[in-house]
Structures are given as structure tokens and as C-alpha cells.
Amino acid sequence: MPSNSDDQSELTRREYVACGGTVIAGGLLSGCTGSSGSDSPDSGTATETAATTATESEPVDTAATDKPYRITVEPVGEVAFETVPQTWVAENASWADMGVALGLTKPSAVVLTGEYRTWHYEDVPGLSPSKEGMVSLWQDGISKELLLEIDAGVHFIDPNYMANLIPNWDRSDVEEMHQRVGPFCGNTSFSTYSWHEDYPYYSLYEATEKVAAVFQRQDRFRALSNLHEEFLDRLQERLPREDQRPEVALLSPGSTEPETFYPYRLGDRTAYKHWRDLGVSDALAGSEIQSFTSDRGTIDYEPLLAIDPEVLLLYTDTHRTDSAFEDTYRSFLQDHDTASQLTAVQNGAVYPAGGMYQGPIINLSKTERAAKQLFPDEFDEEETLYDRQRIADIRAGDI
């Protein structure tokens, strides 16, 4: 799902998967955002081999345990491992980032490499944003042949996700791949789906703890968790009073020159963690506007003018530099007869919202950027709010 240099332009998958299989206006909607973009140079194809993932961190330590072990991952239940997995697949960038934060190389594959916003890694010592060799599982569907070729030791993908959202898959297919390749043990805690009644959602760090258990890196998890808690403590001490924090509207523009938007409501899933941690409120609360994740609807400028949000946060199809975002979205809105009447547009309070997926590193990066966007009087643009070297040390096992 949809931020600021990776593309999300594989349109065929988003309709079926990220948006629950709904045909929209006879077309296909990529990643639950309306904008389209060109393919990223490292977006990944089925012809690439999964064995050539990035090598900027240490490999999995098979000596971590020489005995079989079991962990519990909801909604799957107990999962058995004979040894620590050597290769892995992640459904999305949330799970991918969890593994990377624990010191693993990037996964062999994700469903869509374009949705994995690795630009967040650019300033972490020793960690490359490259996705060279990473495979996109989605190739107009997900094939068993590709999963067999990748041959991952574990798939951080909820079996319900495969059976409910991937065309031509059912429970028996997932079980077959579980037995022939490796277990499926993910949790779709980043969003909600129609089949999520009584679903056991994990928080970001609860899910990360499960990844750490699979790879026997609990010490790194504890260090990451402490780093995160200390970061939030320092950050939240500097936030203005609650009544001085802005109401924000989360929107995905229908194009780079938008006349319609896909609205999102601030929820309690991991996709919105950084906004919750910053204590901002939802400008759409109390209105009749439903989240795109539930009703797939769009809005135009009329209801936005009626609400007149203090801040507009835009989920976009690709990461853009500040100047590119200015040239693409802010300039268009400022020159638009109707959009220019919005308070957020007049005040220049239109910002990239970032992608929806986030693990520990991406969350730190997104929270830092959001704090500077929303509270420029409290946080200087050049200020560093979390320790990049400490992340590198934790990844390397220097706890």
C-alpha cells in the first residue's frame, strides 16, 4: 500500500490483494492508491533468482540453535522448525523490515518489491537501499512454481491472505507449499479485511518479536524494543499540548493532478502507528466519509472544503524528493481553483504520508519525518531524532 523512491505501479495485484479483490471502475487500483507510476529499476521480476539478495548484513546463524524448536504465530498457531531458516519471504515491507532490523539480509521475495520503500535505509551505516535480486511474488497472480523456485525456509505470509485474496489459491494450495517448501506464519496486522472477524492482530513490535523467535535473535529484538521506547519517550516529551496538535486528513490522490481522492481513516493497525504516537487526530472523524479500506469509495474537493483539514497527508504511488513532491502535488493544489481554498493548501501543510507498511527501522524514519512535518517549531529539519549507528550496531549483534 501506499510515500516518498520506490514504485507501486503493478496495478493488477492491488485490486485483488491490497483492496480485497474489488473491481473499481472497470480497472485495477494499485496498492489502494489512485496514482500510477513507472516501474522502478529494481522492482524485481520472476526471472531474477532469489539467491542474489543484498549482503550488507550477516547471514542467518545456523549455530544459534542445533535443536528443533517451536514458536506460536497467530492466526497459524504452533510452527515447528528443525533448524533456523536460511532463506525467507515476506508478504510486505512490514515483515521485510522486521527481519532487516534484526540483522538479516533482505528477504528473497515480497509480494510487490515496489511497495518496499527501502529509501529509509539510506542513512543507516552498512545498510543499502538496493533491492537488487529481490523477486516480486506477484506476476499477474502468485504461482506455486515461483515459490518452489525461491525455496524459502519460511514465509511471513498469513495463510488466510493467500486463500482469501490470491486468485486460484485455497487452503489446500497453502498447505501443499507449507509441506513442500516452508511454513506460512504471517499476520496481516497492517490492515483489516472482511475475513478479519475476531482476528488476532499483532502490534508492530509483537510481530517483530515473532520474527526474532523464528530466527533466534531475541537479543536483537530486546535491543530494538528498548531503542524504540527511548526514542518515543524523548519525542513525546517535546510534543505540544494535545489541544495544539493538528487534525490530519490521510488521502491518496487519484492521479498526479487529482480531482478525486481515496480517503483513509486513522486506525489502530500498524499502518498508522507513527500518527498515533505523535498524538494527532483524524480530521475525517465525525464525518460520513468512510475509509477506502472498507468501502472503496472516493471523495472530491467538496467534502474536503466542508471539513477543511489543517494538514493533508498524501499516500502516493512512489517516493519523491521534497522538491519533486512540491512540483507534483503542492504546486497543482495551489494552482487549482477549488483546492487552493483549503487551509492546508494555503498554509503549505501538504505532505507525503509515507507508505503504509513499516517495521522497526521504517517506523523510526517515518515518525521522525512526520514529527518534523507536523511540529516544525519543536523539531528542526536537520535534527537527528534517533541513532542510526545504534541500529547498525544492533543489526550486527553488538548489543
Average pLDDT over every residue of 65-89:
93
pLDDT at 10: 35
CA distance 395 to 58: 8
Evaluate whether residue 374 is within a structural domain: yes
CA distance 394 to 295: 41
Q: Are residues 182 and 85 in the same domain?
A: yes
The total number of residues written for the chain in this structure: 399
Containing structural domain, residue 187: 40-217
Evaluate whether residue 169 is within a structural domain: yes
- Cβ atoms within 10 Å of 41's Cβ, excluding its own: 9
Q: Please say if the pLDDT value at position 265 is more than 50.
A: yes
CA distance 48 to 316: 27
Q: Please say if the pLDDT value at position 373 is more than 80.
A: yes
Q: Are residues 200 and 169 in the same domain?
A: yes
Of the three residues 153, 182, 217, the one that is the final residue of a domain is: 217
Average pLDDT over every residue of 165-178:
96
Average pLDDT over every residue of 113-128:
96
Number of folded domains that form the chain: 2
pLDDT at 339: 97
- Could you read off the pLDDT of 270-298 as tens digits, one per residue? 989 999 999 999 999 989 888 776 666 89
Using alpha carbons, list the distances in angstroms from residue 221 to 98, 99, 212, 229, 234. Answer: 9, 10, 6, 12, 20
Q: Please say if the pLDDT value at position 312 is more than 50.
A: yes
Which residues are CB-contacts of 114 (< 8 A; sequence separation ≥ 6)? 6, 7, 8, 9, 10, 39, 40, 43, 136
Evaluate whether residue 144 is within a structural domain: yes
pLDDT at 136: 98
- Cβ atoms within 10 Å of 390's Cβ, excluding its own: 18
The CATH number of residue 46's host domain is 3.40.50.1980
pTM, two decimals, is: 0.85
Q: Are residues 179 and 134 in the same domain?
A: yes
**Nearest to 111, CA basis, from 252, 253, 8:** 8
Average pLDDT over every residue of 75-90:
96
Q: Are residues 326 and 367 in the same domain?
A: yes
Q: What angle do CA 187, 193, 194 make, to 5 degrees?
A: 130
Q: Please say if the pLDDT value at position 83 is more than 60.
A: yes
DSSP output for 284-349? TTTSSPPPHHHH---B-HHHHHHH--SEEEE--SB---HHHHIIIIIHHHHHSTTGGGSHHHHTT-
Residue type, 335: D
Q: Could you tell me the pLDDT band of residue 249, with boundaries at 50, 70 and 90?
A: very high
Evaluate whether residue 223 is within a structural domain: no
